[in-house]
Structure formats: C-alpha cells, structure tokens
Structure 1
Amino acid sequence: MTTRSAPPMAGLPGGARSRAAIAAKTLRTDRWWFAPLITVVGLGAWITYATVRVFMHDFYWVEDYHYLTPFYSPCVTESCIPEAAHFGRVLPGWWIIPDAALTLPFLLLFRLTCYYYRKAYYRSFWLSPPACAVPDGHKTYSGETRFPLVGQNLHRYAFYAAVIISLINTWDAVLAFRSPEGFGFGLGNLVLLGNVVMLWAYTLSCHSCRHIAGGRLKHFSKHPVRYRFWTVVSKLNVRHMQLAWITLGTLALTDFYVMALSANWFDDLRFIN
C-alpha cells in the first residue's frame, strides 16, 4: 500500500512547503475577549473598593461585639482604636500608612504571585496572551525570568505569611464572640466565620501548600498522615480559581458589614446577647 503526499508549493526553493498566508490576527469568532474584560472589571472594582477602605481609617471596629474588619487586621498604628489593637500599636499613625501595614503587603504578594491570579491578570491587564490562539500583546517574551516577573518565585514564601495572617483572622473571629454581657452570637459572627473558612480554603488550596504537603514524598504509604492531608489539599486545589474569587467576595462583604455596623447604618442581628 502506498500513500501520496501533497505536491510541493510552486516557486519555493527545493519544493519546500509554506504556511498559508492569513492576514487576520486570529481566526477565533467566539467572544474570546469577554473573559479578560470581566476579569478587568471584577478585579478593578475590588481593588478600588479595597484601596478606599484601607485608607479611610474609619468604620473598622464595632466596640459592642468586638467585630474587626479583615482589612484592618491586625490594627497596629497609633491611630488605631486601643481595643482593636490586639497586638499593640507599633507604627506611626500617618494617613499614608495602612492600619494593617504589617500584613497587607504580604497578602498582596500572596495574591499577586498566586498561580491563578497570574493567569488572570496576565491575560486581562497584560494581554500576555489575552486568550488561547490570540497573539500576545507584546513583541518579546521572556517568561518569568526577568524583573519584575522573576519575583513570582516568592509565592512559596508568601504562602507561609498567608498562613500566619489566616491564624490572626481566626483569632479575630474568636474574639468577636464577646459581648457586653459575656458570650454573644450574632449575624456578624457568621459573616466573620464564613470569611475565615473561605480564607483557609483558598490558602490551603494553594499549589505551594499542595507541594509542601506531599510534593517530595516518594512513598505515600510511609507517610499516611501527610498523604491524607495531600489528598484533601488536592481536592481543594481543583477549586483554587473559584476560591480565589469567592474570597474576594467574602472579604468585601465582611468589611462592608463591619463598616455598616460601625457607621450605625443598621444594628447587628443578635441571636444570643
């Protein structure tokens, strides 16, 4: 049995074959631009809200129920309300310094270097590339080998900081069960707890956490506890993208609820005390 090959292109040296001359930048006819656009709108709106709230320096603490918004945790500047400063006030109270200045840079680093967020803002803000089968918006490409993208390698270290910050947020949620009459429980507690649970799910679903849990194990059978933890983290890792967006939502919701209570827009719905 014999096969016949396509004839060589006429006029090319040695009968070499050439690609088809296509003038269009992409042949995609679907709305490939929609996902990057939604990412720009979503992240842009969240960043705007978070920036305004961080530098507002107000409406972050509810004295009656010890609610502290995660945007101001831990509150460590001299302008912090003393009762909200669970770890002391060690930084100057200048307007340009966020009240949670010790943790916000690490949270920002953890999010910026997250594997999912890299894809999100590379495609939406950087256009590198904006979608599959769509040309890159830059003439050259060096990957993550040069400044500033070489800093993405700090993700594994930012993960450790994110764990510590999640512990602090958990402590804030525990302290919020105090009321003027002692133990108290209200809608605000559910909001704070829900945010903490989602933050832990997002943090533990991190690819670095999965690698730490079992990435270097050669024999899972010899490490049953780490293997079990690795399987749990792996299941969370599948939902890392969804958790990344969900936690942006829970952070904004928690902050807005605490702000509303602190500004006396409405009262907290109390179940106990």
Structure 2
Amino acid sequence: MAIIDSGKVKTGVFSQGRALITDRTLRTDRWWVQPLITFAVLIAFVIYATFRAFENKHYFAEPLISPFYSPCLSTICVEGAAHFGTPIGSVTLFGLLISPALFILIFPLGFRLTCYYYRKAYYRSFWMSPPACAVAEPHKKYTGETRAPLILQNGHRWFFYAGLVFNVILTYDAIITFKNEEGQWGHMSVGTLVLLLNAALLWLYSASCHTCRHTIGGRLKNFSKHPIRYKAWGIVSTLNHY
C-alpha cells in the first residue's frame, strides 16, 4: 500500500494506515544481536571460502578431497583428484590459472544464496529489510524480487536440482575415504568422519528445502489418490520445520 505526499510515494512502514511513530521501534530487547551475529558469521565464511577457492592448494590428500574442489574437472587438478575426468581443461585469466573450484562453486553457492532461509538471513543482516520483527527498515520503497538482481532468486528450483547432483558426488567422495592411499578398502580417518557428516548434513539440508517439499507433494489436488507421495511429503514437511 502506498500514499502520495508532496509528490513522493510512501511505502512500507511509511504507508497509509501505519502509526506515525518517530522511534524506529518500540522494542526494548536487544533485537540487533541476532542480525549482527548473522552478519559476522556470514562475512567470516565468505572471506574464508573466497580464500580457499582462489588458493588452489591443500585440497587433496589421497583419498580425501575438499568439498570446495569436488568434482575437480580441470587439467591443473593435482594428481588423483580428478575422479570424474578433466573436461574443462586449464583456463587462464589475465595470465593466471583459474582455480578448479571456481568452475563448480557457482552451483552450490547459487543454491544457498537463493534458499528461503538464507534469503531471510542476509536480507535482515545485510540489507536490513527488515532487520527484525517490528523494527522499521531504512528503505523508503520496496520492490521485492521483481527486478535484477533479486529476480534471479526465482532460479532456486534449478539450483536445487544441481545441488542434488553435488550431493551424490560428495557422498561418493565420502565413501571412497574408506580406502587408504593404496586403494585398499577397510580404512578410515578423521577426514572420513568429516566428509560423511558433510554429506549427511547436505542431504538433510536439501530434503528440508521448500523446493523439495513442493517437488514431492506439489500440484496434487487429492492426496488420497497419491498415498506414497503424500507420505513422502509429510516426511519432508517435518524436516522443513528445521
């Protein structure tokens, strides 16, 4: 809803019907703590992930491979790291070799950036839109996800499908860590536990996704005619709460 005042369009907390309160919020608790913590954690992860992606070192120790570099598809991958071949070859930019991680991270990164949960997290902590419930946002107008770059959020479903492919690959990476450096089965290390936990959490994250829930039970007018899909939808709906 919006009103015209002195030639300007007022929207959001300034729209017609909202109480005229000079204070930004009447909340007395420390509402800013959660978005501040989220901001700090996400910034720290972005810095770490960017460094690791561009570093192009220390990502493979037979049979362990970092999830940041899997699948490693470039000819500059260290020996033994390219489990699925090297279809991309080596690519240079401004005379520098591009790290193999940069060819694949767009897919898991896109899945997380367009995720409904992460949208809420960075909308609140970075854009303050809004920073918290019952707290006025600083923006004077609201366009939603109707124009660039936020219109790209609609690609979440396709990133979800790509994410499933990566889940399979990372699960494979975890399984082969039960081998030793000579390829013999029946061995494991701390890295095995880390990669197993990583794969399990990724599957739970994907299964709890809103897109997964809609894919399984969406577009059904009568659940009783589709008992298997309804059961699966119920399980995913339970995961969706977490």
Instruction: State the secondary structure of the residue aligned to 2:158.
Output: helix
Q: Is the 8 A contact 1:76 1:101 kept in 2?
A: no
What's the TM-score, normalizing by structure 2? 0.85
**Structure with more relative contact order (C-alpha pairs < 8 Å, separation 6 or more):** 1
**Residues 1:26 and 2:25 aligned together:** yes
Q: Is the 8 A contact 1:79 1:93 kept in 2?
A: no
**Residues 1:80 and 2:81 aligned together:** no
CA distance in 1 between partners of 2:204 and 2:162 (Å)? 15
| Match in the other structure for 1:54 | 53
Within a 5 Å distance, the mapping from 1:82-121 to structure 2 comes to 82-89=79-86, 90-92=88-90, 94=92, 95=96, 97-121=98-122
What's the TM-score, normalizing by structure 1? 0.76
Instruction: State the secondary structure of the residue aligned to 1:83.
Output: coil
Rg: which structure is higher?
A: 1
Q: Is the 8 A contact 2:54 2:101 kept in 1?
A: no
Q: Is the 8 A contact 1:72 1:99 kept in 2?
A: yes
| Match in the other structure for 1:70 | 67
Taking only aligned residues, the RMSD between alpha carbons, in angstroms, comes to 1.8
Aligned mate of 2:219, from 192, 211, 216: 216
Alpha-carbon shift at residue 218 of structure 1 (Å): 1.9
Which runs of 5 or more residues in structure 1 are unaligned?
1-17, 240-273
**Residues 1:122 and 2:120 aligned together:** no
Per-residue CA distance 1:98-149 (angstroms, 9 max, x = gap): 3133421011111111001111000100111111111112111111111111
Q: Which amino acid aligns with 2:189?
A: G
Alpha-carbon shift at residue 97 of structure 1 (Å): 2.5
CA distance in 2 between partners of 1:103 and 1:39 (Å)? 25
Per-residue CA distance 1:158-190 (angstroms, 9 max, x = gap): 100000111111111122221126111222211
Runs of 4+ in 1 over 6 A off after TM superposition: none
Q: Which amino acid aligns with 1:236?
A: L
Alpha-carbon shift at residue 67 of structure 1 (Å): 0.5
| Match in the other structure for 1:259 | none
Aligned mate of 1:225, from 215, 223, 228: 228
| Match in the other structure for 1:245 | none
Total equivalences in the alignment: 220
CA distance in 2 between partners of 1:145 and 1:124 (Å)? 21
CA distance in 2 between partners of 1:100 and 1:221 (Å)? 46
Q: Which amino acid aligns with 1:50?
A: A
Q: Which amino acid aligns with 1:104?
A: L
CA distance in 1 between partners of 2:19 and 2:166 (Å)? 55
CA distance in 2 between partners of 1:27 and 1:117 (Å)? 27
Which runs of 5 or more residues in structure 2 are unaligned?
1-16
